[in-house]
Amino acid sequence: MPQKNIWWKEGIIYQIYPRSFKDSNGDGIGDLKGIISKLDYLAQLGIDIVWLNPVYGSPNDDNGYDISDYYSIMKEFGSMEDFDELLKGLHDRNIRLLMDLVVNHTSDEHYWFREARTSRNNPYYNYYHWWPAEKGKPPFRHSHFDISGNAWTYNKATDSYYLHYFSEKMPDLNWENEKTRQEIYEMMRFWFKKGIDGFRLDAICYISKDTTWPDVREEIKVKYDNDWANYYAHGPHLHDYLREMHEQTLDGFDVTTLGEASGIDINEALLFVKEDRKQLHMLYHFEGMMLGYEKSGYKRPDPRGINLVKLKKVYTAWDQVFEQDGWGTIYLGNHDQPRMVSRWGNDTEQFRDTSAKMLITFLLTMRATPIFFQGDEIGMTNIRFKKIEDYRDIETINMYKYLQSQNEDLERFLKDQQISARDNGRTPLQWNATPNAGFTEGKPWLKINDDHTYLNVEAQEKDDRSVLQFFRQLVLLRKHKPLLVYGRYELFDAYHPQVYCYTRSLENEKLLIVLNFFAKEVAYQLPYEVDTEPLVNNLLTFQMDGSIVTLAPYQALIFGPLPADVAPLREQETIFYKQYTDTKEKESGEPIL
Ligand code: GLC
Ligand code: CA
């Protein structure tokens, strides 16, 4: 059993994207003072931990993920005094703070890089990765922000190429250099001493590189299925560095680390978070996020939609891996993803609120630390920009340019981006129905979704049945039921194509959770006899006949508590398995709903 009574296992994480949370001075950009003005709102959500996207000095090539000064606050966001006030304000309300730390790369405007690029003899030269031009062309490495992109860029003064897994304004730090690592650890200790409660570690699995720089194109094809993230996440000294980082920074502080684990497979999860390995406390995986996207190219949605059988398989497997050790996290959206209700639920007027509540129920009843992205608590939706000019995200813009250069289908790209683009999740938080949604007095840096006239915090505060109130109630339920944090998870009817049904049990209690993930009504036989009304229902209606419940579209029900040793009414349903395999044969592919 994983260790209990640990705040980062019991807490609920709420992610703040500062640029889009609340603007205090009318420049159209959210800022720290804006967050400070909403501290009571955060407290009233009942969340325990804020993950704040990067707020350090940055020229904003990638919205703060390109850091030019780890020791200061981005001017647009405010000052170090504002930061201290924010931290205190959070702590006064018993909310902890995780800073977002980017140490795979810096901005090219960071002092280290400005020095490094002047001469091969500069002491900072070895803080980065270089390929000397006299050796010919560097071995191909792929840059994530430009699919054709070469991750090496030529620098004249040193007559060498520098490496950047992301944009050319984000050179990768050389972790193989002990000095670089020491500077990073020192900086981390600076923030811990300030009193922050931990770090979300950006692209952390990419930090170690094979500096013999082999030509890996063939290996990427064969071993990594053409997935560069996977290759990047398997550098030779990754685990040595994580252990060293833990040793040199965490000791003596009650803090946590949450790693972004792009490119990591479930079989490797424990290598990172097994307690006695002393590396990371938690990570978040991408396996769930990639469901329903085609494998190669940009995040191109599979027109067949999402396969619930696969989704259950992924989340069940990720639960099991932490059954004995380590700890998981769960999320359905963040600043790198579209809106959760648009992607996994249904954002039409008819089903938006219900499906948002169903997804909230899912996240708050699984055995993992739940991470919500700002706006999820009111069910914010994708903005679905029609024109490239509306986008601000470097990922979308660079991909568009690249596809344009290749004469590819740009219309299709724009249509796909309406589903998958990161800017869908980044539009300003909708506080009220006024023209700028109460976000700013000025011109917002990114357009505000038109639906703010009816979908906003103020309206939902007044409505007892809003998504916001439902969110608060379920947060309270999780807090009062350790079972929802630590209890055993058991899946029922893995192959049921429409219903996700599971139990959580601890000591002598059990809860039964039944979720309809689709817009179709479905009759479903419960695996246990329940003689009471559900404890939680995201709708007003409830229809049950014997043990058969008729679930309305996107209905979410929680039954119980039942005694933990209650006998199931029936075996796991195998008929769905048969249907599943039949369809599979027929379509020679996985069945998709
Ligand atoms: C991570 C961040 C993303 C950023 C990238 C480069 O994936 O979440 O927003 O663009 O790293 O730092
Ligand atoms: Ca501002």
How would DSSP label each residue in 305-319?
Answer: ---HHHHHHHHHHHH
Atom of ligand 1 nearest to the CA of 65: 12
Return the pLDDT at 346: 96
Atom of ligand 1 nearest to the CA of 262: 7
Over residues 140-148, mean pLDDT: 83
What's the CA-to-centroid distance between 434 and ligand 2, angstroms? 18
Ligand nearest to the CA of 165: 1
Task: Judge whether residue 172 has pLDDT over 50.
Answer: yes
Atom of ligand 1 nearest to the CA of 422: 9
CA atoms 342, 488, 468, 42: torsion sign: negative
pLDDT band at 593 (very low <50, low <70, confident <90, very high): very low
Q: Which residues line ligand 1 (CB under 6 A)?
A: 62, 65, 102, 166, 202-203, 260, 335-336
Task: Judge whether residue 441 has pLDDT over 90.
Answer: yes
Q: Which residue has the higher pLDDT, 302 or 468?
A: 468
Q: How many residues does the chain have?
A: 593
Return the pLDDT at 361: 98
Q: Where in the chain is the domain with CATH 3.90.400.10?
A: 111-163
pLDDT in tens, 41-52: 999 999 999 999
Return the pLDDT at 191: 98
What's the CA-to-centroid distance between 28 and ligand 2, angstroms? 6
- C-alpha–C-alpha distance, residues 504 and 490, integer Å: 7
What's the CA-to-centroid distance between 30 and ligand 2, angstroms? 5
Return the pLDDT at 20: 98
Task: Judge whether residue 299 has pLDDT over 90.
Answer: no
- C-alpha–C-alpha distance, residues 401 and 384, integer Å: 19
Q: Where in the chain is the domain with CATH 2.60.40.1180?
A: 488-580
Return the pLDDT at 586: 56
Are 54 and 61 contacting, i.e. CB atoms less than 8 angstroms apart? no
pLDDT in tens, 234-270: 999 999 999 999 999 998 999 999 999 999 999 999 9
CA distances for 131 relative to 147, 156, 159, 216, angstroms: 21, 12, 9, 16
Q: Where in the chain is the domain with CATH 3.20.20.80?
A: 7-106+177-474
**Segments in 366-466 forming alpha helices (H):** 394-405, 410-420, 423-426, 457-462
Are 521 and 546 contacting, i.e. CB atoms less than 8 angstroms apart? no
- C-alpha–C-alpha distance, residues 28 and 24, integer Å: 9
Ligand nearest to the CA of 373: 1
- C-alpha–C-alpha distance, residues 498 and 342, integer Å: 18
- Beta pairing, strands 282-284 & 256-260: parallel
Average pLDDT over the chain reads 95
Amino acid found at 495 = Y
Minimum mean pLDDT among 66-70, 217-221, 272-276, 453-457: which range?
217-221
Task: Judge whether residue 148 has pLDDT over 80.
Answer: no
What's the CA-to-centroid distance between 523 and ligand 1, angstroms? 42
Over residues 293-299, mean pLDDT: 81
Ligand nearest to the CA of 62: 1
To the question of domain 7-106+177-474 being in CATH 2.40.110.10, the answer is no
CA atoms 189, 194, 197, 202: torsion sign: negative
Return the pLDDT at 587: 54
Return the pLDDT at 375: 98
Return the pLDDT at 588: 44
Return the CATH number of 488-580, one of 2.60.40.1180, 3.30.70.2660, 3.40.50.2300, 3.30.70.20. Answer: 2.60.40.1180
Tell me how many degrees the CA angle 322-323-327 measures, rounded to the nearest 5: 35
Minimum mean pLDDT among 35-39, 293-297, 348-352, 557-561: which range?
293-297
pLDDT in tens, 76-126: 999 999 999 999 999 999 999 999 999 999 999 999 999 999 999 999 999
Are 258 and 227 contacting, i.e. CB atoms less than 8 angstroms apart? no
Ligand nearest to the CA of 82: 2
- Residue 99 Ramachandran class (φ > 0 left, ψ -120 to 50 alpha, else beta): beta
CA atoms 436, 100, 41, 421: torsion sign: positive
Ligand nearest to the CA of 173: 1
Atom of ligand 1 nearest to the CA of 335: 9
pLDDT band at 297 (very low <50, low <70, confident <90, very high): confident
Query: Any idea which residues carry the catalytic annotation?
Result: 202, 260
Amino acid found at 560 = G
Which residue's CA is the nearest one to ligand 1's atom 9?
336
Main-chain dihedrals φ then ψ at residue 166, nearest 5 degrees: -110, -135
**Closest C-alpha among 416, 412, 573 to residue 498:** 573
Ligand 1 site-directed mutation target among 58, 63, 65, 264, most atoms within 8 Å of CB: 65
Return the pLDDT at 108: 98
Over residues 191-200, mean pLDDT: 98
In the chain, pLDDT over 70 holds for what percent of residues? 97
Are 422 and 395 contacting, i.e. CB atoms less than 8 angstroms apart? yes
Return the pLDDT at 226: 83
Atom of ligand 1 nearest to the CA of 145: 10
Which residue's CA is the nearest one to ligand 1's atom 3?
336
- C-alpha–C-alpha distance, residues 528 and 503, integer Å: 10
Residue 254's SS3 state is coil
Over residues 359-369, mean pLDDT: 98
Atom of ligand 1 nearest to the CA of 166: 6
Task: Judge whether residue 206 has pLDDT over 90.
Answer: yes
What's the CA-to-centroid distance between 142 and ligand 1, angstroms? 15
| Sheet containing strand 556-563, strands side by side | 488-492, 499-506, 509-516, 556-563, 536-537
CA distances for 310 relative to 289, 314, 329, 354, 494, angstroms: 12, 6, 18, 22, 9
What's the CA-to-centroid distance between 440 and ligand 2, angstroms? 8
Over residues 355-373, mean pLDDT: 98
Fill in the DSSP letter of residue 251.
Answer: T
Which residues are CB-contacts of 417 (< 8 A; sequence separation ≥ 6)? 385, 391, 396
What's the CA-to-centroid distance between 495 and ligand 1, angstroms? 35
Return the pLDDT at 581: 75
Amino acid found at 415 = K
Return the pLDDT at 2: 74
What's the CA-to-centroid distance between 428 and ligand 2, angstroms? 12
Which residue's CA is the nearest one to ligand 1's atom 7?
203
Which residue's CA is the nearest one to ligand 1's atom 12?
65
To the question of domain 111-163 being in CATH 3.40.1500.10, the answer is no
pLDDT band at 354 (very low <50, low <70, confident <90, very high): very high
CA 480 to chain centre: 25
**Segments in 18-177 forming alpha helices (H):** 32-36, 39-45, 80-92, 111-116
Task: Judge whether residue 423 has pLDDT over 60.
Answer: yes
